[in-house]
């Protein structure tokens, strides 16, 4: 790793498990902050949280936390101050943490009428692998496998948080020249780069890719099928299916992609079969 980029900082890997994917209306059911303080003392904060609502089966099937697991647990208000103290001024590391986990956490603080704690910097490994132009898929499991990182107990907050921290370290070793900056410069480069168009350092722009449907919602990048709209814009359909299968179910409806031929291409790409009652 480039020397000193994290020296003297409290570095915490961060991950949430939730009732769903809406950062404004869903709730946190598990939080993990794991890492070390500025002198190297380990930090391990992990809590299961009562969301004060039923946990949908689809969410429980991903992270393994069911209604009976949160029964009798405190809600977010019981840990808010401790979480705020940990995050304030820390370097936060996580995968897709800027657009999901931190936004979800901010909603929890706002419900309590509290200010969201402000980290010193956010090192988002999802943003980082894209900036480094590492080939897709960019989901955490695939990236850990590619970089020789064991990800046991995937989709538990502590395991995913720790894996993202190891991934950050591995990337900093393999791409050391890109990390030879101050912490502030590194974050600015990861987030913004030298942006002149959507082509930038993240690879070919979406406008350069072959259209799959007439509206250009779905495009091809070599053998991959890429979304060109919505919250998963720029991502491979297989990667999205791994992380957000409910979105794919919507995508394959007429409300998602209007072009039936394009929907059939996506089904084939994902290895789905069509039956009279729907996908199987």
Residues 25 and 116 in one domain: yes
Last residue of a domain, one of 166, 192, 218: 192
d(CA 55, CA 100): 18
pLDDT given for residue 73 in this prediction:
97
- Residue 93: φ, ψ to 5°: -115, 135
Question: pLDDT category, 154, cuts 50, 70, 90?
Answer: low
Burial 22-56 (b: 16+ CB within 10 A, else e): ebeebbbbbbbbbbbeeeeeeeebebebbbeeebe
Question: Is 2 among the domain residues?
Answer: no
Q: Which of 131, 158, 192 is the last residue of a domain?
A: 192
pLDDT in tens, 121-135: 999 999 999 999 999
Higher pLDDT pick, 258 / 60? 60
Tokens for 93? 């590391």
Q: Does one domain contain both 163 and 270?
A: no
* Number of structural domains the chain divides into: 2
Task: Please report whether residue 125 resides in a domain.
Answer: yes
- Best mean pLDDT range from 38-47, 146-155, 231-240: 38-47
Residue 4 covered by a domain: no
Does residue 54 sit in the same domain as residue 21? yes
For residue range 197-242, list pLDDT tens digits in order.
344 444 456 677 888 987 788 998 888 899 888 778 888 899 888 8
- d(CA 42, CA 33) in angstroms, rounded, equals 11
Assess whether 159 and 235 both reside in one domain. Answer: no
Average pLDDT over residues 82-110: 95
Q: What is the tens place of the pLDDT at every residue in 225-234?
A: 998 887 788 8
**Which residue segment(s) compose the domain that 242 sits in?**
206-279
Q: Are residues 101 and 28 in the same domain?
A: yes
Q: What is the pLDDT of residue 232?
A: 82
Same-domain check for residues 185 and 223: no
Q: What confidence score (pLDDT) does residue 278 get?
A: 44
Q: Model's pTM, two decimal places?
A: 0.68
Write phi, then psi, for 220 (nearest 5 degrees).
-110, 135
Same domain, 62 and 177: yes
Which residue, 192, 218, 249, sits at the end of a domain? 192
With beta carbons less than 8 A apart as the criterion, state whether 217 and 262 touch: yes
pLDDT greater than 60 at residue 107: yes
Residues 110, 222: one domain? no
95 and 35 in one domain?
Answer: yes
Q: Where are the alpha helices (DSSP H) in 40-199?
A: 57-63, 67-70, 80-87, 102-111, 125-131, 140-146, 157-174, 183-192
Q: Is the residue at 117 inside a domain? A: yes
| 211 & 188 share domain | no
């Amino acid at each position: 790793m480039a020397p000193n980029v994290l020296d003297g900082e409290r570095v915490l890997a961060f991950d949430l498990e939730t009732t769903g994917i809406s950062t404004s209306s869903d709730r946190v059911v598990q939080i993990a902050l794991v890492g070390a303080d500025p002198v190297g003392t380990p930090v391990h904060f992990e809590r299961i949280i009562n969301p004060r609502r039923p946990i949908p089966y689809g969410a429980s099937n991903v992270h393994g936390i069911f209604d009976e697991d949160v029964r009798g647990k405190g809600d977010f208000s019981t840990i808010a101050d401790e979480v705020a103290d940990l995050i304030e001024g820390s370097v936060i590391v996580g995968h897709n943490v800027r657009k999901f986990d931190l936004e979800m956490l901010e909603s929890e603080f706002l419900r309590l009428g509290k200010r969201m704690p402000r980290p010193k910097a956010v090192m988002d490994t999802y943003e980082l692998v894209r900036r480094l132009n590492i080939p897709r898929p960019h989901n955490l499991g695939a990236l850990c496998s590619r970089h020789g990182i064991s990800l046991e107990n995937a989709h538990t907050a502590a395991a995913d948080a720790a894996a993202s921290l190891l991934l950050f370290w591995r990337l900093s070793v393999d791409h050391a020249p890109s990390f030879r900056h101050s912490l502030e410069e590194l974050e600015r480069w990861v987030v913004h780069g030298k942006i002149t168009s959507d082509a930038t350092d993240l690879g070919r722009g979406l406008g350069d890719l072959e259209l799959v449907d007439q509206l250009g919602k779905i495009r091809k990048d070599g053998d991959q099928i890429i979304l060109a709209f919505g919250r998963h814009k720029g991502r491979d359909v297989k990667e999205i299916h791994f992380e957000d299968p409910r979105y794919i179910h919507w995508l394959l409806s007429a409300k998602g992609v209007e072009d039936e031929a394009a929907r059939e291409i996506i089904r084939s790409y994902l290895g789905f079969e069509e039956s009279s009652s729907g996908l199987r």
